[in-house]
Every structure is written in C-alpha cells, then in structure tokens.
Chains A and B, each alone.
Chain A
Amino acid sequence: AQTVTQSQPEMSVQEAETVTLSCTYDTSENNYYLFWYKQPPSRQMILVIRQEAYKQQNATENRFSVNFQKAAKSFSLKISDSQLGDTAMYFCAFMNYGQNFVFGPGTRLSVLP
C-alpha cells in the first residue's frame, strides 16, 4: 500500500522568509500525481500545487514551488516570501493513476509577524 510521510508535525517561519516542508512517499508505481493542499483555520482544503511524476520540471505557482526527487521519492514544498495568510495545515497527497488519494498526516505551519 502507498504511504505518505510528513516528518515535520509543526513548523514556524518569520514573515517574508522562506520555508520548506518535507514529504516522502512510498510506491512501486512509475506514473502518479503528487499534490500539496493547504487547510487554513477555516478548514477549507485548497489546492496549492500539483506535479505529474512523468514531468522532470518542478511545478511552480507564484510563491510556491516544489522540489520533486523521483528516485528519492521526495516531494518538498518551498514557500517564498512567507505571508501571514500562509498560516495553515499543509497536506501532501499522492495518487496513482486510476486510484484514490493518499494523504499525509500534515504539517502545521505558523507564519510569525
């Protein structure tokens, strides 16, 4: 069975600084998707960024970028110029083609003024 691990239960970062959240996963498949979702205090789950495993280029969305290391099965999220509104739980998720999502346990990020 696929598993997703987020080894940092909690992190904090100063406003305007950069922070990296780690995620590792376990699979024997070659084709799959990886996602980062954000869950702010409102508890609405919001898609942050998405990566297809067959693409070597790391995905980027404004201040959010990933470091996808397929061989190492690692998918970290980098948040640049952190803002107070980035305070949230961040979930890494994995999905095989035709299968369902597997979510990690989450990392609670606090952006400090």
Chain B
Amino acid sequence: DGGITQSPKYLFRKEGQNVTLSCEQNLNHDAMYWYRQDPGQGLRLIYYSQIVNDFQKGDIAEGYSVSREKKESFPLTVTSAQKNPTAFYLCASSETTLSTSTDTQYFGPGTRLTVL
C-alpha cells in the first residue's frame, strides 16, 4: 500500500539528548514537510523540502535539523537546543514540481515525543 510511515509512534528522550524521528513515503512525492502540534493547537511548520538535497526552514526551525538524501526519506532531528521539544510531530508529503504550485498534503500517523 502507498503511504507515509513515521517511526517510532512514541519516543522518550532525556534532556540534553538529540533524537531522530523517521519519515518515509512511497508515494513518489517530491515535497516533504515536518510539523509540530502542541495540545489543543494547530500545526506549525518546522522544515520542508521540495527536492532531494534541498530543504528550507519553516516557522519554528530553531533546535531542529533535517536531511533529504533520498526522495522517499525526510528524517527530523530534535537537538538539545530545542528548549521545549515535548509535542506531537507530523510528517507530510505532496506531489509538486518547482514550476507548479504545491498540491494537497498527505500526512503520516505522527510521533509523540516526550522529554523526561
């Protein structure tokens, strides 16, 4: 089945540790995104990538890093510089090209990160 997978579903981290969240898609989508969702709030964009080996900061990129070495993979690292990392993290992808507008975003099941 085509779709977006995120792992793990739940993740616990000690303060001061870096942790990497996985996001994989087999939809052959060009663009991928990472969002953060806090309780009772909407989604805020962390990073996005429209093409392999290129990515851009979103609205709340501080304390996060990403890579896009393969089209199907867009891992997110939450670094120790992120002061309040406990949140729900959603990965999304969309079919787009550089010459057209970004289309509908499809989401993975999310990862719940808790800092102990």
Task: Determine how close the nearest CB of chain B comes to the CB of A25; give it in whole angstroms.
Answer: 13
A101 and B105 contact, CB distance less than 8 A: yes
Q: Which residue of the partner chain, among B42, B90, B92, B102, contacts A98 with CB atoms under 8 Å?
A: B102
Q: Count contacts on A: residues with CB < 8 A to the other chain.
A: 22
- Interface size band for B: 20 to 34
| B42 lies within 8 A of A43 (CB) | no
B101: which of A42, A45, A46, A97 is its contact (CB, 8 Å)?
A97
Partner of A91, one of B33, B42, B48, B102: B42
> Does chain A have a CB within 8 A of B41?
yes
**Interface contact A42-B41, CB-CB below 8 Å:** no
The reply to whether A42 and B109 contact each other, CB–CB distance below 8 Å, is yes
Q: When the two chains form their complex, are residues B107 and A100 in contact, meaning their CB atoms are under 8 A apart?
A: no
C-alpha spacing A95/B100, complex, angstroms: 13
| Residues of B participating in the A interface, judged by any CB pair closer than 8 Å | 33, 40-45, 48, 58, 88, 90, 92, 101-102, 104-107, 109-110
